[in-house]
A and B are shown apart, each in its own frame.
Chain A
Amino acid sequence: MATTVPSTHQAGATGPLGLGRRILALIPGLLLLAAVGYTGKIIEQSTAAYTKAHHITFPNIEYVLWAIVIGLLIANTVGIPRIFQAGVATYEFWLKAGIVLLGVRFLLGDILHLGGISLLLIAVTLTLSLTFMHLIGHAFKLKPKLTSLLAIGSAICGVSAIIAAKPSIDADDEDASYAIAAILALGALSLFTFPLIGHLLHLSDKAYGLWAGLAVDNTAEATAAGALYSDAAGKVAVLAKTSRNALIGFVVLAYAIYWASRGQAQVVGNKAVFLWQKFPKFVLGFLLISLLATLGIFAKPQLTSLANLSRWAFLLTFAGVGLRTSFRELGKQGWRPLAVGAIGEVFIALLTLGLVYGADLYLHL
């Protein structure tokens, strides 16, 4: 899909009946997410059991990849019938709930250490990648606002950042939909390439997780790219990506001020209110749960239960990643925007890889 800006970002029921109808409308899509995700889990378990029983050497392919591939196949062949669309769009909700619950697996000290390193690297990456994206956008003669959306999407935080930026810079629906489709498609490709490169370079779980969290655009894809490498890498990828998400407001504010100064967007009034409105609130939930875990509020079996709940939420998310990614959308604005997106992604991936190597060497991840 990814053809329209998801509308589930703002909830606003018009009454109990309206709310009831909205919840009912989610059920078919939720069942589809569960079916695709659980099928991925069954395939992983069955393949592992079969290869073990028959003494076949075969790499363990995580349910994450199976769920995404099944979702991609459905979305890009038969498509997603309308009845499923609302429920499938909830995958971001499950992602955020899963990230908040994942907070139980972090001590607050770990968050401060790795989050601090992440923020340092993010500052460097942001500056260089935004500049680079604008240079190649200009070189490929893209519309300036489409370039801005692609730059925000690839440098900061994928779909959420594009959605946050769209009204603020008064961008076209068509440009926003295209930028989202490009970010989702390029993110899907990173799921296949990042783990492969990580293994080829023998990256440690921490280094790989940090790299995936800093380089992969969309939070769902960054989480999946981390989980595909290892459980520990998945944890670090989520932390690095969450640090990146926390900066959405600042980047969007900078763009809003820039376009307003050129008379092509509305002027931002209260900047503090703007920043708070754009701040991803799930980051606070993640920190709160981590604080509770650090204070020893939960017993060990309870920590395991909460970590497993997070895994179940991510299972729905990964199914949604595949189901919401359409490669068809990419042909609509020609090859140039995709080329800019792809070149930008390669640049950011190489830049962050270099930074992570440096951080591993000098800051001791």
Chain B
Amino acid sequence: MPEPTSAAPRRGISLDVYAVALALVLALLVRFNLIPPIKW
């Protein structure tokens, strides 16, 4: 009978969390006008 739970992924902070953190920091910087307007 196989042992339980090692089907779960490795521990550690996922890439998604870093991506969300970066986006939120950028949103705060823009919200409080701490960076100049971003052009495209």
> Given A281-B20, A282-B19, are A265 and B38 also a contact pair (CB < 8 Å)?
no
Q: Which of A1-32 contact B (CB under 8 A)?
A: 8-12
Question: Nearest chain B CB to A201's CB is how many angstroms away?
Answer: 29
Q: Which residues of A contact B4 (CB under 8 A)?
A: 266-269
Give the shortest distance, in Å, between A86 (CB) and chain B (any CB): 13
A254-313: which residues lie under 8 A (CB-CB) from chain B?
A: 256, 260, 263, 265-270, 273-274, 277-278, 280-282, 284-285, 288-289, 292, 297-298, 301-302, 304-306, 308-309, 311-312
**B7–A266 touching, CB < 8 Å:** yes
Query: Which of A96-104, A110-118, A328-336, A356-364 interfaces with chain B?
Result: A96-104
Q: Is the CB of B13 within 8 A of A97?
A: no
Complex Cα distance, B7 from A260, in Å, reads: 9
Q: Out of A277, A292, A311, which one reaches B8, CB within 8 Å?
A: A277
B19 and A167 form a contact (CB under 8 A): no
Which A residues lie within 8 Å of B23 (CB)?
97, 100-101, 285, 289
**Cβ of B8: which chain A residues have Cβ within 8 Å of it?**
268-269, 273-274, 277
Measured CB to CB, the closest approach of chain A to B24, in angstroms, equals 7
Residue of B nearest to A94 (CB): B19
How many residues of chain B are within 8 Å of chain A by beta carbon?
A: 32
Structural contact, B10 and A306, CB atoms closer than 8 A = no
- B6 partner residues in chain A, CB cutoff 8 A: 266
CB contact list, B12-28 vs A, under 8 A: 12-20, 22-24, 26-27
- Shortest Cβ distance from A256 into B: residue: B7
The 8 Å CB contact of B16, one of A104, A168, A263, A282, is: A282
- Shortest Cβ distance from A326 into chain B, in angstroms? 21
Expressed in whole angstroms, the Cα–Cα distance for A164 and B10 within the complex equals 10
- Taken together as a complex, chains A and B put the C-alpha atoms of A305 and B40 apart, in Å, by 9
Contact: A278 with B15, CB < 8 Å?
no
Q: Establish whether residues B5 and A305, one from each chain, have CB atoms under 8 Å apart when the complex forms.
A: no
State whether A167 touches B9 (Cβ < 8 A).
yes
Interface size class of A (residues with CB under 8 A): 35 or more
Q: Does A217 sit at the interface, judged by CB under 8 A?
A: no
Query: B residues within 8 A CB of A266?
Result: 2-7
A284 contact set on B, CB distance < 8 A? 20
A345 within 8 A of partner (CB): no
A92 within 8 A of B: yes
Contact A308 B40 (CB under 8 A): yes
Residues from chain A with a CB closer than 8 A to the CB of B33 are 302
The residues of B that contact A96 with a CB separation of less than 8 Å are 15-16, 19-20
For A245, give the chain B residue with the smallest CB separation. Answer: B16
Partner of B37, one of A170, A256, A285, A304: A304
Known contacts A266-B5, A268-B7, A282-B20: does B31 contact A302 (CB below 8 Å)? yes
Bound Cα distance from A266 to B13, whole angstroms: 23
Q: Are B18 and A312 in contact (CB under 8 A)?
A: no
Q: A105-149: which have CB < 8 Å to B? A: none
Contacts of B39 in A (CB 8 A): 308
Q: When the two chains form their complex, are residues B12 and A12 in contact, meaning their CB atoms are under 8 A apart?
A: yes
A347: Cβ under 8 A from any B Cβ: no
Q: Which residues of A contact B (CB under 8 A)?
A: 8-12, 92-94, 96-97, 100-101, 104, 164, 167-168, 170, 256, 260, 263, 265-270, 273-274, 277-278, 280-282, 284-285, 288-289, 292, 297-298, 301-302, 304-306, 308-309, 311-312
> Other than the known A97-B22, A168-B9, A266-B6, what 8 A-B pairs have Cβ atoms closer than 8 Å?
A12-B13, A96-B19, A97-B20, A266-B5, A268-B4, A269-B7, A281-B20, A285-B19
Q: Nearest 3 A-B pairs (CB), nearest first?
A: A269-B5, A285-B20, A96-B19
